[in-house]
Amino acid sequence: MFTKKTIRDINVKGKTVLLRADYNVPIANGKITDDYRIHQSLPTVRYLLDHGAKLIICSHLGRPDGKPNPEASLWPVAKRLNELLESEVSFVEDCVGEKAEKVAKKLQPGEVLLLENLRFHAEEEENDDNFAASLAKLADVFVQDGFGVVHRAHASTEAVTHHLPSVAGLLLEREVDTITKVMEAPERPLMAIIGGAKISDKIEILQKFIDIADFVAVGGAMANTFLAAEGIDMAKSLVDHDDIPLAKSILEKARAKAKESQFIFYLPHDGVAARAIDSKVHTRIVDWSAHVISSIENYPKRPPRESSHMKADEMLLDIGPFSAAFVAGGTQLARTVVWNGTMGVTETPALQGAVGPFAHGTETIVEAMLGEFGHKPFTVVGGGDTVGYIEQQKLVQAFNHVSTGGGASLELMSGRTLPGVAALEDKEHQ
């Protein structure tokens, strides 16, 4: 249960509310190419407007290095908000100072003002208290709804809470509630599907899922390093050699758990190999002996074909059909599935059809999670590449929860304290 006060716990009628949203959306040629995060903020925005607030929204966009950059302006977001809310959204070309204060004072209940990019000021990421005080000067109440930034102690996530009454928005509440429940009291069996490139980036979440999950499946480039740690020649595949000792320690932990309980830690049996990351390149399936760490004796084993071992100039770019089927089968036994990280290089475009040459493994697992094979578990998706993929495939609404925060969701799953949440006011005990 969410333990912080939310906008439902306060009276905002006639008050000026400073809302921290996460509008860090992709923009190309001045146009937003994916407005998922904007849509997710709308329940909070509409609640505040419906309850008579004067609304000021602040956000960051990109990495402008603490100085104004037209390419990182939030002006396109103001235009999109205007369309979605079907009402005028004012915009000011700074987030603090005389210009912002002048426009903020003229706001009336039910009106919206979007401030320019917070990160045009270096003080934002420095968690500067004076900068936070300047932001707070614009409003009466602070509402944190930018889940994607609450794992950072910045001026608009932590310092500002020292100057204004501070509560959570509806998106932040839903994100924290859903992820916390999945990690602390999931419907079992619990399965985790973890991809991505570097083990070191996800060491804490891997360790956590070995502790709490019933089935952990690893894919993506991360699997290459685990396979290399198991003694498999990965040829030209992306392998983080510095992480091999780390991979071995994780495998040891998994083996220890498998001896004590019903548990599976799965590395791919097979994969899609090619000489280059290119849609036009020839691909082939390679396989090797099974590397499944399990307390279940009769898991499927497939002996490798000698001719199918990787060649010296090849790299592994996706899990293979047998591995995809094995993981997909796991989802059919699970009641809850947490997915973070694609299984291959899904951004490589397809020559024909909708699936790229290195996205078939991910596609098979997605179909299984969405009930195409008969059973649909409760699904939670996080991670930038993962969310980006399902947005591209227009599948966001098909999952139970798609997180707006990559790093924040990982840290929350790992059990870390999120500074931007901890800084908010606690609910009063009933």
- For 325-339, give one letter per residue: b (16+ CB within 10 A) or e: bbbbebbeebebbbb
| Average pLDDT rounded to a whole number, residues 368-385 | 92
Report the alpha-carbon distance of residue 59 to residue 408 in Å, rounded.
16
Matching residue, tokens 């509008």: 23
Of the chain, the end-to-end C-alpha distance in Å amounts to: 13
Distances (CA, A) of 97 to 209, 394, 416: 46, 41, 35
| Model confidence at 309: pLDDT above 90 | no
Residues identified as active-site:
37, 198, 384, 407
Intervals of CATH 3.40.50.1260 along the chain: 7-170, 178-413
Radius of gyration of the chain (CA): 24
CATH tag for 7-170 (out of 3.10.20.90, 1.20.1300.10, 3.40.50.1260, 2.60.40.180): 3.40.50.1260
According to DSSP, the residues that pair with 22 across neighbouring strands are: none
**Exposed, middle or buried: residue 307 (CB in 10 Å: 0-12, 13-18, 19+)?**
exposed
What 3-state class would DSSP assign to 95?
Answer: coil
Share of the chain above pLDDT 70, in %: 95
Determine the CATH number of domain 178-413.
Answer: 3.40.50.1260
Question: pTM for the whole thing?
Answer: 0.92
Task: State which of 24-38, 162-176, 188-202, 384-398 shows the largest mean pLDDT.
Answer: 162-176
The pLDDT of residue 371: 94
| Model confidence at 301: pLDDT above 70 | no
CA angle 232, 234, 240 (to 5 degrees): 105
